[in-house]
Amino acid sequence: MKKILFICCVASCLLSLGCKQGYNENQNADVSSNGTSEIATNIQDLKNAGLLDNLLSDSRSVSDEDSAAILDFINNTDEVLENIRESDNGDEKLAVINALFNGDNISDFADKFSEINSEKAEELLDYVNTNLQFDTDSNINRSAIDNNRIKLLYATNSNINRTAYASDLEWDTIGWYTSFCVSTIAGFYLLSYGGFWLKIAGAVAATAGTASMVTQLIKWNNCSDLGTFISSLANKDSATANEILNSENGLKILTITTETSATVAACYFTPLGKTIVKTVVYYLNLILGKIITILPAGINFTINGIPIKLITL
């Protein structure tokens, strides 16, 4: 938790394609009835859900070459994948892309990424395990996440088997949000440390991941659970307010805040990252602002020892 606090402070201040042989053997299993691969289908799902709108509409944060390649990756995915497969280390690259968009867990993704960059793959897994985890206090009635098994998911109905995203502050909903954060971080690691086509795939994943985070933050900002929590703080003295803040619902807000802060901190040091995390910060601050404004003035409140404050970039 102290390491999480450090990341929060940084953010506040600064702010199934395995090897080539496997691909050929399993190609039929990865292709839908219309001849489209599973990756291509999932990329189109991201596009149709509006999760790539920022990337498609604003190319100022990437070069002309990257912008053209991004459009090609999104609109001609299977052709691009075939070109990648025929390139040097094509099987390893495809394995990473497959893990990124087909719902692998973070440990499997890191294993495949390690074939490209072992040092950064280890760093990625350590970062996730350190900064994106639930408090495992046995007095809190919830299941702790096994971080190594967090899946890389996005806010499309097809990959979560939900007809809609929950507008509640339950721990399982926060668990889905954790997956969005992890997908975003994994995408930015590829964007920063992969070769050309992995950089392109990473840009697409990071954009979809942040848009997924925003989708859930908007739901939380408008949900009745948050309204009830804020109402419970109204007109309370500082001691009572502090007690409420450190209840289970307060720890849920803390988890959302620290995971978001860690994701922002991981992504902020690239031009694309600076562009797309701004919306994430805006919607998280809407939630935090509602809480801060209802608290007694002049007191620096904390949840589990961590100050409640807006994130600044």
pLDDT surpasses 90 at 160: no
- Give bridge partners of residue 105 from the DSSP assignment: 151
132-166 CB burial, b ≥16 within 10 A, e <16: bbbbeeeeeebeebebeebbbbbbbeebbeeeebb
pLDDT mean over 201-210: 96
Predicted local confidence at residue 142, as pLDDT: 37
Residue with tokens 């901190």: 265
Short-list 73, 69, 72, 270, CA closest to 184 = 270
| Amino acid, single-letter form, for residue 279 | T
Q: Is 303 helix (H, G, I), strand (E, B) or coil?
A: strand
At 140, the pLDDT band (50, 70, 90 cuts) reads: very low
pLDDT surpasses 50 at 229: yes
Give residue 179's domain range.
Answer: 2-307
303 inside domain: yes
Give the model confidence (pLDDT) of 1-45 as tens digits.
444 443 444 344 333 323 333 333 333 334 444 557 999 999 999
- 86, with CB counted inside 10 A (0-12, 13-18, 19+), is exposed
d(CA 277, CA 57): 16
313 inside domain: no
The secondary element (H helix, E strand) that includes residue 307 is strand 306-307
pLDDT surpasses 50 at 111: yes
Considering only the C-alpha atoms of the chain, give the largest distance between any 2 of them, rounded to a whole number of Å. 67
Give the model confidence (pLDDT) of 257-304 as tens digits.
999 999 999 998 888 888 889 999 999 999 999 999 999 998 899 999
Q: Are 59 and 67 in contact (CB under 8 A)?
A: yes
Q: Give the lowest-confidence range in 62-71, 140-149, 200-209, 244-253.
A: 140-149
DSSP 238-267: HHHHHHHHTSHHHHHHHHHHHHHHHHHHHH
pLDDT surpasses 70 at 163: no
116 inside domain: yes
The larger pLDDT score, comparing residue 111 to residue 312, is at: 111
At 165, the pLDDT band (50, 70, 90 cuts) reads: low
Q: Give the lowest-confidence range in 63-77, 133-147, 186-200, 292-306.
A: 133-147
Residues 6 or more apart in contact with residue 238 via CB below 8 angstroms? 296, 299, 301
Alpha helices by DSSP H, listed for 18-163, are 20-26, 38-48, 53-57, 64-75, 77-85, 90-101, 106-113, 118-131
128 inside domain: yes
Task: Count structural domains, the chain.
Answer: 1
312 inside domain: no
154 inside domain: yes
- Give bridge partners of residue 307 from the DSSP assignment: 302
CA separation (Å) from 86 to 30, 90, 91? 18, 6, 8
Predicted local confidence at residue 141, as pLDDT: 35
